[in-house]
Amino acid sequence: MTNPLTERRLSDEEPYEIIHNPVVGEEFRLLERDSDADGEFLRAEVRYRSDATRFVEHVHPQQDETFHVLDGALLVSVDGVERSLTPGEQVTLPAGVPHEHGTVQGTETRVLWEARPPLAAATLLRMLATLAEEGNTDARGTPNLLAMAVFADTHSDFIYLARPSIPTQKLLFKLLAPVGRLRGYSTDYPAPSGAPSA
């Protein structure tokens, strides 16, 4: 049986956009626009450096994420249970389930990633990469609270931290978003200028 996530050969697909995050150590090579997939999904080849950091535990209330490991090893933690995926293995993280993912330190990793539905996934990736390039994230690539508030206020119910509760975060982000906008944060970020070209 063919895996729908990998049935197309990556070598035949040219990315239409490359989003490179220098702090996290990952590069998203977007292969299919959500508009190309009738708004059903966004697909990318993700390349993690050997020193890539692990993104903070988070939850997507309305989006499933699927990771299919092509090379290296991907660590996935769901509800505190961690497992390591090797080439050929795949995991789907269902909407509403807190999770985090990253690589085994010292191992370059390449995965095929899919978000269903895409929602604001590409917008978030661009924002995180741009803020990282500008030096406006912590060592794990997490933006400051004002930038997060502007994004969450604009794209409600897309992504939240695993803690505190989502209602608490919604209230906090609603209060902080106007301050973040005054400080110049937005959700309109182009691909970062340091990104490799396709």
Chain centroid to Cα 37, Å, comes to 19
Residue 169, pLDDT > 80, answer: yes
pLDDT, tens digit (0-9, with 9 covering 90-100), for 128-140:
999 999 999 999 8
pTM of the model: 0.85
CATH topology of domain 11-119: Jelly Rolls (2.60.120)
When pLDDT is cut at 50, 70 and 90, the band that residue 36 belongs to is: low
pLDDT, tens digit (0-9, with 9 covering 90-100), for 72-130:
999 999 988 999 999 999 999 999 999 999 898 889 999 999 999 999 999 999 999 99
Of 5-19, 55-69, 81-95, 122-136, the one with minimum mean pLDDT is 5-19
Domain ranges of the chain: 11-119, 125-182
Residue with tokens 């890539």: 52
- Contact, 133 vs 25, CB < 8 A? no
